[in-house]
């Protein structure tokens, strides 16, 4: 995803390097070619995974000192949305592989050397299931984990999985576990984002040394210094889940417009002249554009440096509201298709399913953002009174 050749510089700060557009375009074409197979298999086919790895998503947010791109969230937003226009499941996994690379950068140095010192380097694919689950016990030099963790997107192709759990001291921590230490359960069979392979993983009394674990609190605070891990996590994590939605909604808008441009309605009139269709296309387009503007602002603020209190309160709100706008947009577009638009081969209905599945993610629930943002506003007003 880095356009610069190794060893070259352009005067651009590392965290603002642009995405590799040609390789992202190749991934989009491969993802589109295999979209039906991806959904049927409930996982990404190997050619798609190969193109995804080659496009550099796994390394995009990895620090340069470990061979990563140290790339920007703005570039990631646009690249993921572009892929989402071809296949939302591919875009979802691309975003997950990227954000987990950022998350694990908070591990101790020994753990990072173990992770990124192998043959794959920063291109190693990493899955995650970070909501606290399982059972944890303390050992002399680490922890032991048992239990089942759900919804580890892309886990079939991952060499490691990052798991969230509460320690006996009730500390929320993340634990990095290699592929040969867990079993993958065939548990993902959802109506939307069907190809993400978001299966469960099960561990039976697995030892995790101290150097493969980090505190969730460190991730939430962000790191000191340069790099994409320097900002508080809540100011960027929603981008992971809403960027694929942006692409899927754009694909639905395009497909609906193409259908209307060429379809004759049962009344004999041209669909393109139907005011209902015109209204839906226009309103949906406005909602999609508004969502993109919100997401671009949030990404730009994160890329610029440590966000202030307003930006920290606003970002989760914007991610969730953008998801609402995009879901509303595809609802409008889906209804214009009538019964014919509900056929399983119709691209708008697939985008509709994918968008609503993504918008249901806990991070994109608007209600979970209102207390933080409204309290920030009221506290500010109180101080100025």
Domain boundary (123, 147, 182) is at 123
CATH code at 364? 1.20.140.10
When pLDDT is averaged across residues 118-145 and rounded to a whole number, the result is 96
Q: What is the DSSP letter of 192?
A: S
**pLDDT of 285-338, one tens digit each?**
999 999 999 999 999 999 998 789 999 999 999 999 999 999 999 999 999 887
Residue range of the domain that includes 298: 233-384
pLDDT at 342: 85
pLDDT at 224: 45
Alpha-carbon distance 47 to 38, whole Å? 11
Query: How much helix, strand and coil, in percent to the nearest 5, is found in the chain?
Result: 60, 15, 30
Phi, psi of 72 (to 5 degrees): -90, 155
Domain boundary (105, 123, 141) is at 123
Q: Are residues 154 and 243 in the same domain?
A: no
Q: Are residues 167 and 111 in the same domain?
A: no
* 223 within some domain: no
| Contacts of residue 341, Cβ cutoff 8 Å, sequence gap at least 6 | 259, 334, 348, 349
Q: Are residues 156 and 260 in the same domain?
A: no
Higher pLDDT, 179 or 21: 179
Mean of the per-residue pLDDT values of the chain = 90
Q: What is the DSSP letter of 215?
A: E
Alpha helices by DSSP H, listed for 222-368, are 237-262, 275-304, 309-335, 347-359
pLDDT at 18: 40
Alpha-carbon distance 98 to 79, whole Å? 11
- The number of C-alpha atoms within 13 Å of 85 and in the hemisphere containing its C-beta is 17
Kindly report which listed range (69-73, 338-342, 361-365) carries the lowest average pLDDT score.
338-342
Alpha-carbon distance 288 to 286, whole Å? 5
Distances (CA, A) of 323 to 18, 111, 242, 300, 328: 25, 35, 6, 18, 9
**pLDDT of 60-107, one tens digit each?**
999 999 999 999 999 999 999 999 999 999 999 999 999 999 999 999
* 8 within some domain: no
In the block, residue with structure tokens 């390789």? 23
* 297 within some domain: yes
Task: State how many domains the chain has.
Answer: 3
Domain boundary (162, 184, 215) is at 215
CATH code at 183? 2.40.110.10
Rounded to two decimals, what is the model's pTM? 0.91
Kindly report which listed range (39-43, 211-215, 221-225) carries the lowest average pLDDT score.
221-225
Q: Are residues 154 and 241 in the same domain?
A: no
* 6 within some domain: no
């Amino acid at each position: 995803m880095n356009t610069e050749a190794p060893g070259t510089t352009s005067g651009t700060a590392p965290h603002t390097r642009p995405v590799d557009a040609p390789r992202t375009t190749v991934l989009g074409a491969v993802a589109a070619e295999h979209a039906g197979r991806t959904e049927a298999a409930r996982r990404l086919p190997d050619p798609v995974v190969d193109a995804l790895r080659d496009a550099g998503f796994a390394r995009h947010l990895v620090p340069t000192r470990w061979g990563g791109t140290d790339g920007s969230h703005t570039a990631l937003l646009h690249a993921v949305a572009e892929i989402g226009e071809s296949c939302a499941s591919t875009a979802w996994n691309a975003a997950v592989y990227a954000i987990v690379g950022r998350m694990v950068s908070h591990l101790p140095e020994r753990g990072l050397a173990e992770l990124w010192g192998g043959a794959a380097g920063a291109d190693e694919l990493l899955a995650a299931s970070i909501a606290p689950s399982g059972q944890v016990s303390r050992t002399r030099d680490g922890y032991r984990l048992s239990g089942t963790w759900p919804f580890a997107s892309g886990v079939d192709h991952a060499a490691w999985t990052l798991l969230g759990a509460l320690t006996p001291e009730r500390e929320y921590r993340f634990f990095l576990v290699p592929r040969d230490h867990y079993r993958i359960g065939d548990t993902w069979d959802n109506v939307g984002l069907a190809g993400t392979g978001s299966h469960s993983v099960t561990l039976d009394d697995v030892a995790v040394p101290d150097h493969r674990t980090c505190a969730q609190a460190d991730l939430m605070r962000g790191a000191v210094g340069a790099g994409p891990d320097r900002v508080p996590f809540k100011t960027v994590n929603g981008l992971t889940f809403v960027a694929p939605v942006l692409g899927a909604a754009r694909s639905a808008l395009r497909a609906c417009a193409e259908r209307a441009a060429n379809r004759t309605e049962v009344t004999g009139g041209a669909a393109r002249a139907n005011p209902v269709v015109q209204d839906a296309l226009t309103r949906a387009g406005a909602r999609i554009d508004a969502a993109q503007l919100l997401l671009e602002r949030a990404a730009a603020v994160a890329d610029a440096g440590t966000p202030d209190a307003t930006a920290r309160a606003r970002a989760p709100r914007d991610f969730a509201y953008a998801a609402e706008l995009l879901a509303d947009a595809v609802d409008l577009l889906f209804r214009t298709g009538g019964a014919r638009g509900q056929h399983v081969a119709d691209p708008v209905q697939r985008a509709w399913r994918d968008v609503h599945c993504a918008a249901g993610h806990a991070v994109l629930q608007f209600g979970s953002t209102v207390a933080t943002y409204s309290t920030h506003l009221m506290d500010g007003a109180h101080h100025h009174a």
